[in-house]
Structure 1
Amino acid sequence: MCQGTKLLLEACVRCNVQHFIYTSTLEVAGPNCKGDPIFNGDEDTAYDGESKSPYAQSKRLAEDSVLKADGQLLKDGGTLMTCALRPMYIFGEGCPFLQGHLDKCLLNKNVYLRFSRKEALVNPVYVGNIAWAHVQAAKALRVPQKAKHIRGQFYYISDDTPHVSYADLNYELTKDLGFGIEPRLPMPLTMLYYFSLLLEIVSFLLRPFVRYIPSTNRHLVTLLNTPFTFSYRKAQKDFGYMPRYTWEEAKQCTAQWIASIVPQRRVYLKSKAA
């Protein structure tokens, strides 16, 4: 991922592409392995440690490359201008994670599995608002008075989706379709963490013989059960970002998409089990 981003930056220099906006991720910030929470953080929030997952590390390196590339001279003598957007967990139509959770829900008699504590609040963001943030950042980079504030900067992008746990987001999006959610984790959080460690050990021991991918791991347990919320105030101040879609609009569009795929997912799961 990092090398691919560097190649794109090099292409921008050679082809005189003046503006580069990198889609980063919240996981660049964390949570760390201790699961230290952040409530309504911003770009200046200090945080001890970072996520050690390969995905987070590769995104961090790529983001650093993009921000450091700001100011490079283009082949025609122009200047490369860059910034990075760090979206929260993105939901909406076509989201593969929502579809995966839906499949498990259908197999569990229309009840979502609870994989995160109710109090592990995060602030997911609707895909339409993420797209709109990119449009607004791109427009701002073309205006010198605005560009000078955002060049070489990163921004957290959220919206007005209620702060909920990851598991409760699935439920909120589909409860009007008749789906339920389990009231608690399948086991106490500490036990779930060490159970995940055991699965990781089994995966490591089997590696020379068979490829076994555990259904969970310690990083995932920590990620899904750590309160981690951020404000979009800086993006609003620097380049005028405001969510284009309300929570109710985002919820309605996502629920309609989920409702449209339920019949085909039922058929697929039934055929797979046959």
Structure 2
Amino acid sequence: MAAWSCLVTGAGGFLGQRIIRLLVEEKEVQEIRALDKVFRPELREEFSKLQSRVKLTLLEGDILDEQFVKRACQGTSAVIHTACIIDVYNAIPPEVIMNVNLKGTQRLLEACAQASVPIFIYTSTIEVAGPNSYREAVRNAREEDNLETTWSAPYPYSKKLAEKAVLAANGWALKNGGTLYTCALRPTYIYGEGSPFLYRFFDQALKNNGILSHNSKFSIANPVYVGNVAWAHILALRALWDPEKAPNIQGQFYYISDDTPHQSYDQFNYNLSKEWGFCLDSRMSLPVWLTYWLGFLMEIVSFLLSPIYRYQPPFNRHLVALSNSVFTFSYKKAQQDLGYEPLFSWEKAKQQTTEWIGSLVKKHKEALKTKTH
């Protein structure tokens, strides 16, 4: 492989920054362009330390800004597109989500065609596959099962359309006469230190005397560690550069999971945090079917009030289905085509995530001390 350069969108995000850290280790990388709307000062500092190993350019701007995206793609060999808005609560206006997740992806694909960027890797999600109902059980699903979400909720819908656009762009003619090759990775629920979802969840639990909310006890999921998802992106990049491997991968999508034990989200959160004194709520929870229909009623109320007031329900049917489904995936195809093996064992992933949760507990205690003095 000759020297190459890579643009990573969403580079300041939970997954994006992990991809950057692994890309820096790739011998053939000449330049990494890290694109995001804004970079936090501590991340700027961390990225500046990586400059000694490789040219790392930070690009701050909007993915919907056509000229900015064109300039970002100019002269790069590959794009890893992780930037998106994740929203399972319907807290963000649907048009904002559709714009960033779908239109932003289409703009980026067009910019690649114009700038003759031959490789495009898209970070998709298992939510493009479902779950469509909390009553249906999907175990160790594979790519050939052709699962597809039927939800019209903005997040899964926008990601489904964006993934279709990426895979349909495989084989596009580039301006310089070359060809665009694409693939998509569908990680399961991503966890690890710095996870915004885990941060919110444990922050809430700390405010509730360490009691973990238990609204997902009927689920069976196989979460995936963030470091392993980042590693899968590096392997996809290497594989699309490899003339022998590439033909099998072009235009394909892959489920990315690891060896994290299959368990309910409730049990998973408890396993990560029990050593810090967190415990599951022992109170009775509502039956799932009742929670589902309450979600539906709240959606109706939200819709009826929408002309005069933006009512944000605490949950909705999509979230209830997502949190209470048996929905697990096999990474065999990624293993076969990309040579994917998890870089981090469950023990290592658990240890690092648990230590990070411990740091949140410590900060919380310090904040309480400061308040009382």
Structure 1 stretches of 4+ moved >6 Å: 267-272
Distance in 1 between residues matched to 2:327 and 2:154, nearest whole Å: 20
1:253 matches 2:352: yes
> 2:211·2:278 contact (CA, 8 Å) conserved in 1?
yes
Residue 279 of structure 2 corresponds to 180
Offset, 1:264:
3.1
> 2:259·2:346 contact (CA, 8 Å) conserved in 1?
yes
TM-score (norm 1): 0.93
Distance in 1 between residues matched to 2:303 and 2:216, nearest whole Å: 25
Distance in 1 between residues matched to 2:244 and 2:370, nearest whole Å: 58
Distance in 2 between residues matched to 1:48 and 1:70, nearest whole Å: 20
Residue 76 of structure 1 corresponds to 176
In structure 2, stretches of 5+ residues that fail to align are 1-100
Residue 256 of structure 2 corresponds to 157
Offset, 1:183:
4.5
Which segment is superposed worse, 177-186 or 60-69? 177-186
> 2:295·2:315 contact (CA, 8 Å) conserved in 1?
yes
Residue 243 of structure 2 corresponds to 144
Residue 196 of structure 1 corresponds to 295
**Higher percent of residues as strand:** 2
Residue 26 of structure 1 corresponds to 126
> 2:134·2:325 contact (CA, 8 Å) conserved in 1?
no
Residue 58 of structure 1 corresponds to 158
Distance 1:148 1:46, change over 3 A: closer
Number of aligned residue pairs: give it.
271
Offset, 1:48:
7.4
Residue 111 of structure 1 corresponds to 211
1:224 matches 2:323: yes
Residue 207 of structure 1 corresponds to 306
Distance in 1 between residues matched to 2:188 and 2:208, nearest whole Å: 28
AA aligned to 1:69 is A
1:37 matches 2:145: no
Residue 240 of structure 1 corresponds to 339
Residue 67 of structure 1 corresponds to 167
Distance in 2 between residues matched to 1:151 and 1:46, nearest whole Å: 17
Residue 169 of structure 1 corresponds to 268
Offset, 1:262:
2.3
AA aligned to 1:139 is R
1:98 matches 2:219: no
Distance in 2 between residues matched to 1:52 and 1:267, nearest whole Å: 43
1:14 matches 2:130: no
> 2:183·2:249 contact (CA, 8 Å) conserved in 1?
yes
1:124 matches 2:230: no
AA aligned to 1:210 is Y
> 1:29·1:51 contact (CA, 8 Å) conserved in 2?
no
| Identical aligned residues as a percent | 52
> 2:134·2:324 contact (CA, 8 Å) conserved in 1?
no
RMSD: 2.0
Offset, 1:182:
2.1
> 1:136·1:240 contact (CA, 8 Å) conserved in 2?
yes
Distance 1:29 1:270, change over 3 A: farther
Distance in 2 between residues matched to 1:13 and 1:41, nearest whole Å: 33
3-state DSSP class of the match of 2:144? coil
In structure 1, stretches of 5+ residues that fail to align are none
3-state DSSP class of the match of 1:52? coil
> 1:83·1:151 contact (CA, 8 Å) conserved in 2?
yes
Distance in 2 between residues matched to 1:262 and 1:34, nearest whole Å: 33
TM-score (norm 2): 0.69
Distance in 1 between residues matched to 2:334 and 2:356, nearest whole Å: 29
3-state DSSP class of the match of 1:214? coil
